[in-house]
Chains A and B, each alone.
Chain A
Amino acid sequence: MKHKLRLMTLAFASLPSLAAAADLGIDATSLIRLEERSVPGFKDENVVPATQFLGVDLDKLGDGNLSFHLHGWGRVDLAHRSTDEGTTDGDLSYAYLAYRFPKADGLIRLGRFYVYEGIAAEQLDGVSVRGDLAKGFTASLFGGAPVRLDITDRNKGDYVVGGRVGFRVPGILEIGASALREGNTDTGQTADLKNYRQLVGGDIWLAPFRMIEVRGHSSYNTATDGFAEHSYLVLFQPLKDLSISAEYNDYRLKDYFASTNLRSLFNPDKGETLRSYGGSVTYVIAKPVEVSADYKRINYHGDSHGNTHRYGGEVRLTLADRKVRAGVSYHRADSSRADVNSYHEVRGWGLYDATAYFASLDAIAHFYRQSIDTRSHDYEFVGSAGYRILPNLALSGDIAYGRNPRLDSELRGVVRLTWNFTSTSKGAAK
C-alpha cells in the first residue's frame, strides 16, 4: 500500500515538471454567426449561434516522445435555434495520448482518435499501434468502441477492430491488405441483416516509370459476400508542369451501402451498380497560372437515375509569394434523364493576405435546367476582411448574401477570432 502511495505521489509530483518540459500548442477559434433567414410564406427568423472551437497539443512530454492532442467544439444559440436540435451542442473530435518511437515510424495512440488505414476510416475510443518492419513490411492494428452519433444509441456497433499490413519496394511499389470488423451493429427491423460490418480490402501504389503512378483500392464486404468498391487512379506526368490523370470507380451499392445507419436514404436493397470513369489535365502555363480541366462519366447499371456527364475547368493564379491568390471555374452536371435535374456552376474568387491585413471575395452561382420552386438559379456572394492584432491573434468578419430556391434571401454575418499559440519555435506551425 505504502509502495503504491509513493508511486502515486511521485506521479503527481512529476506532472508539473512534465508539463514544464512540454511544448504547448493551442488553437482557438471563436465564431459568432448572425443569420437572417427569409422563407417564403413564413416570418423572417434571426439565428445567432456562438461556437467555440478548441485544439490543444502538448508535445515532448515524459521522455520527449509522448504527446497529448485534443480538439472539439461547443455551441450556444443566442437567438432562435440554429438547428432542429437543442439550443446547445458540442462534440469532442479527438482526445488521445500518442507515443512516437524515434525509429520505424512507430506510433501508439490511446483515447479518441481517427484511423485511416487502407480501407478503414473510423473514429473510435480505443488504441492503435503502427510501425515499419524490416525488409519493407509495415503493420498497423487498431481496436476499440466506435464513436456514436447523438441521434440514437444504436447507430454504431459495440466494438471495431482492424488493421493493415503493407509491403514496399522503395520508389516502385507499395501494396497493402487491410481488414475491419465492427460487431453488434443494429439490424433495426430488417431481419435478414447481419449484425456486424466486415470488410477486407487491398490497396496499391505503383510507379513502374518515373512519369507514371497508379493508386487505388478495392474492398470486399464479407457480410454481404460481394465486392463493395474498386477505385483506381492513374497519374501521368510527361512534363514537370503537366499532369494527366484517369480514374475508374465501380460500386456495388448492395455491398457498399450495406452498413449504412440511414437505410431510408442509402437504400442498398435496389441492387444497383454504379460505375464512373473520367480524367483531368492540369497545366502550369507559367509559375503563377495553373489551368485544369476535368471530366467524369457516371453510369448506373440499373438506370434508375440515368447517366451523367460532369465536366468543367478552373484557372488559378498565385502571385506575390502566395499573398495574392485568385481563381475562376465553370462546372456542369448534365444528366441524361429528364426527371434528374442538371446545372451549370460558375465561381470566381480572390484573396489578398498581407502581414497584418487580409481580405477575400467569393461569388458562386448555379443555373438549373428545370426550375426548382419557381427559381431557375441561385447565387451567393461572400466578402471577408481581417486584421492580425498580433502575429498569432486575428480578428476577421464575413458578410454573405444570397438568393436560392429555398429562401427569398439569406443574409449572414460572421465574426471570427482566431488565436494560434505555440510555446516552441522549432519546426513549422501545423
Chain B
Amino acid sequence: MRRIKLLSLCAAFVGAMALTACTHVISQETSLPSSHPEALGEGRVDCSECHEDKIKGVLKPYASFSHTPVFVKNHRFYAGEDGRLCGVCHKPSFCTDCHANELEIKPSIRYGNRPDRELVHRGDYLTRHRIDGKIDPTSCFKCHGRTNNEQCVACHR
C-alpha cells in the first residue's frame, strides 16, 4: 500500500514536471483561426488589401501570401512551410481537386464554369502530354510519379 502511494506521488511529481516543461517548451501564442472571419469574394485574393502587418502564427508578412501569378505557380513552397495558413481559407478538398491519389475528372472539366482558376491540362492534353513529358518529365512526376497514375498505366506498362 505504501509502495502504491509512493508510486502515485512519483507519478504526480513527474506529471507536474512534464506539464511545467510543456508550458515552457510549447508556444503560448494563440492559434490561427479555423476560418477567415469575413467572407472573401471569389477569384484571387490580395491579403495586403486589408492587412499590413505580419501574420500571427506563421510570422511572415501578409503580402507574401497574396495570390499573385507567382504564388499560384509556386504554391508548393508555401504549402510545405505554412500549410495550416492555407487551411484558414481553403478546405483540404480545394487541394484534392488537383492533387489526389485517384482523380476522377480532369479539374478543368469538373470546373468548366471557372475558367479563371489556374487548372492544369486544359484542352486536349492527351496529345500534348507527349511533348511536355519529353521537355520536362519532373513536372509530370510531382503528381503522377507515385500517385494518380492509373490512367498512365493504360498505355505506359
| Chain A residues within 8 Å of B, Cβ to Cβ | 27, 29, 31, 33, 51, 53, 55, 57, 59, 67, 69, 71, 73, 75, 83-85, 89, 91, 93-94, 100-107, 113-114, 116-119, 121, 123, 130-134, 136, 147, 149-151, 155-156, 166, 168-171, 174, 176, 203, 205, 207, 213, 215-217, 231, 233, 235, 237, 240, 243, 245, 247, 249, 251, 253, 256-257, 259-262, 264-266, 274, 276, 280, 282, 290, 292, 294, 298, 305, 308, 310, 314, 318, 321-322, 325, 327, 333, 335, 340-343, 347, 349-351, 353, 358, 360-362, 364-366, 372, 378-380, 382, 384, 386, 396, 398, 400, 402, 404-406, 410, 412, 414, 416, 426-430
Tell me the smallest distance from the CB of A133 to a CB of chain B, in Å. 6
Q: Mark B28-48, 1 if CB is under 8 A from A, else 0.
A: 111111111111111100001
Query: Is B31 touching A101 in the complex (CB atoms < 8 A)?
Result: yes
> Are B42's CB and A384's CB within 8 A?
no
Closest to B91 in A: A430
Query: Closest Cβ of chain A: how far from B53's Cβ, in Å?
Result: 9
B93 → chain A closest CB, angstroms: 4
Which B residues are closer than 8 A to A by beta carbons?
Answer: 24-43, 48, 54, 57, 59-61, 63-64, 68-70, 73-74, 76-81, 83-84, 89-96, 99-102, 104-105, 109-110, 112-116, 122-124, 126-128, 130-132, 134-138, 140-141, 144-147, 149-154, 156-157
In the bound assembly, the distance between CA atoms of A351 and B157 in angstroms comes to 41
Contact of B36 with A427 in the complex, beta carbons under 8 Å? yes
Docked-complex contact A104 and B31, CB < 8 angstroms: yes
Alpha-carbon gap, A131 to B33, bound state (A) = 14
- Find out whether the CB atom of B116 lies under 8 angstroms from the CB atom of A133: no
**If A103-B29, A340-B134 touch, does A171 touch B60 (CB 8 Å cutoff)?**
yes
**Contact between chains at B145 and A262 (CB < 8 Å):** yes
Q: Shortest beta-carbon distance, A273 to chain B, in Å?
A: 11
A244 vs B87: C-alpha distance when bound (angstroms):
27
Q: A171-B54, A360-B114 are in contact. Are A261 and B31 (CB under 8 A)?
A: no
A404 to B156, CA, bound (A): 21
Cβ distance A90 to chain B, nearest Cβ, rounded Å: 8
Most buried by B among A151, A166, A253: A151
Q: A132-B27, A265-B156 are in contact. Are A123 and B147 (CB under 8 A)?
A: yes
Q: Are B26 and A106 in contact (CB under 8 A)?
A: yes
Which of these, A100, A123, A405, contacts B101 with CB under 8 Å?
A123
- Cβ contact of B54, chosen from A53, A170, A333, A361, cutoff 8 A: A170
Smallest CB–CB gap between B24 and chain A, Å?
6
| B151: min CB distance to chain A, Å | 7
How near does chain B come to A89, taking the closest CB pair, in angstroms? 7
Q: Which residues of B contact A233 (CB under 8 A)?
A: 70, 74, 77
Are A430 and B94 within 8 A (Cβ)? yes
| Cβ–Cβ < 8 Å partners of A379 in chain B | 123
- B145 is contacted by which of A57, A266, A335, A361 (Cβ under 8 Å)? A266
Q: A116-B83, A266-B137 are in contact. List 7 more A-B contacts (CB 8 A).
A: A51-B105, A69-B91, A71-B92, A121-B79, A147-B101, A414-B109, A430-B35
Per the bound structure, the CA–CA distance linking A343 and B128 in Å amounts to 9
Contact B94 A276 (CB under 8 A): no
Could you show 30 A-B contacts with beta carbons less than 8 Å apart?
A: A53-B110, A59-B34, A91-B101, A91-B102, A103-B27, A103-B29, A114-B99, A118-B81, A121-B99, A123-B101, A131-B27, A150-B102, A170-B59, A207-B60, A217-B80, A233-B74, A247-B74, A257-B141, A260-B145, A266-B137, A290-B69, A335-B135, A341-B130, A343-B128, A347-B122, A406-B127, A410-B124, A428-B35, A428-B38, A430-B35
**What residues on A are CB-neighbors of B99 within 8 Å?**
114, 121
Q: Is the interface of A mostly helix, strand, loop or mixed?
A: strand
A293: nearest chain-B partner, CB-CB: B69
Q: How far is the CA of A341 from the CA of B26 in the complex (A)?
A: 55
Note all chain B residues with C-beta closer than 8 A to A217. 77, 80
Question: From residue A272, how far is it (CB to closest CB) to chain B in Å?
Answer: 10
Taking a contact as CB atoms under 8 Å apart, the answer to whether B84 and A378 are in contact is no
What's the Cα separation between A122 and B138 when bound, in Å? 17
Query: A116 touching B80 by the CB < 8 A rule?
Result: yes
Cα distance A426–B39 in the bound complex, in angstroms: 10
A34 to B: closest C-beta gap in Å: 12
User: Complex Cα distance A119/B142, Å?
Assistant: 11
For A380, give its contact among B78, B124, B132 (CB under 8 Å).
Answer: B124
